Amino acid sequence: MPFKDMLNDRVRVMRSSGEEHADIPASVQKNKIFIQQSDILIEAGDFVERKMSNGGVELYEVIDPGFHEGLGSIPAGYEMVVKKSDGKKESQPVASQGDNNPKVFIVHGHDDLAKLTLARFIEQIGLNPIILHEQASSSKTIIEKIESYGDVGYAIVLYTPCDVGSKAGEENKPRARQNVVFEHGYFIGRLGRSKVTALVKGGVETPNDISGVVYIDLDERGAWKMDIAKELQHAGYKVDLSRAL
């Protein structure tokens, strides 16, 4: 009998990032779970939920993902070492108004210093910065990664002078990368304007067709930190302003 025919269980993988994969064929044993699937990333600390035919639910924590590449007729997959978990891990929904999701998505261009400075500040005030290129790709396209890791409570967009552009016949001006403008609009649509703030460095051109959007000057003195903290407070976060200094 082919091994795939022995995958009689159905499980849900719940990653620590909030990403989920449901209805995956698996074989759940005492301390191991077998999955013949290589298009998802499973890491230590993730959880696997098994729904049993009697209506019960078992939750396992991944100790060692045990990923192996395909060999001949044997497809790639996981032979996970797991342990049962006493506390149920709840999946995190997409953030909406009133949620206090601690993850903050950072939209950025090519200014690594600005990106890292903002990320360290977000950590300093007790929140979790999400930077897209630091997350696992799992064979996803860019937009699929944004959708997957966009389960955040807030987004901060860095408008830095990484490109130049202008109307035809006019002098070029510093602009943010096109992906920055696109992702700015995406998160306004996903989270609402009150959950998105843009940090603008220098004289970078900003979109002129979005009303009611918060733009904060990314000044060298660091006054932007207090402004960001206040915006987060206004959005419902409990932020100790003394940690923003």
pLDDT tens-digit readout, 33-79: 999 888 888 988 889 999 888 878 889 999 999 998 887 777 889 99
Residue predicted with more confidence, 167 or 223: 223
What do you get for the CA distance between the two ends of the chain, in Å?
Answer: 64
Provide, for the chain, the percentages of residues in helix, strand and coil under a 3-state DSSP scheme, each rounded to the nearest 5. Answer: 25, 30, 45
| Alpha helices (H) along 86-168 | 112-124, 142-149
Model pLDDT for residues 116-167, shown as the tens digit of each residue? 999 999 999 989 999 998 887 777 888 888 988 888 999 999 999 999 988 8
Q: How many CB atoms lie within 10 A of CB 133?
A: 9
Query: Per the confidence metrics, is the pTM higher than 0.85?
Result: no
| pLDDT at 209 > cutoff 70 | no
Residues 6+ apart with CB under 8 A from 50: 9, 10, 11, 26, 28, 57, 58, 59, 60
Phi, psi of 103 (to 5 degrees): -90, 130
CA 46 – CA 35 distance, rounded (Å)? 14
130 vs 152: CA distance, rounded Å: 8
Distance CA 139, CA 117 (A): 29
What local confidence, expressed as pLDDT, does residue 141 receive?
86
Confidence (pLDDT) at 5: 64
Is the per-residue pLDDT at 208 higher than 80?
Answer: no
Q: Measured between alpha carbons, how far is 237 from 160 in angstroms, rounded to an integer?
A: 26
Q: Give the relative orientation of helices 178-191 and 142-149 as an angle to the nearest 10 degrees.
A: 40
User: How sure is the predictor about 177, in pLDDT bands with cuts at 50, 70 and 90?
Assistant: very high
Whether the predicted pLDDT of 7 surpasses 90? no
Strand partners for 21 = 13
Asked if residue 103 has pLDDT above 60, the reply is yes
State the chain's mean pLDDT as an integer.
85
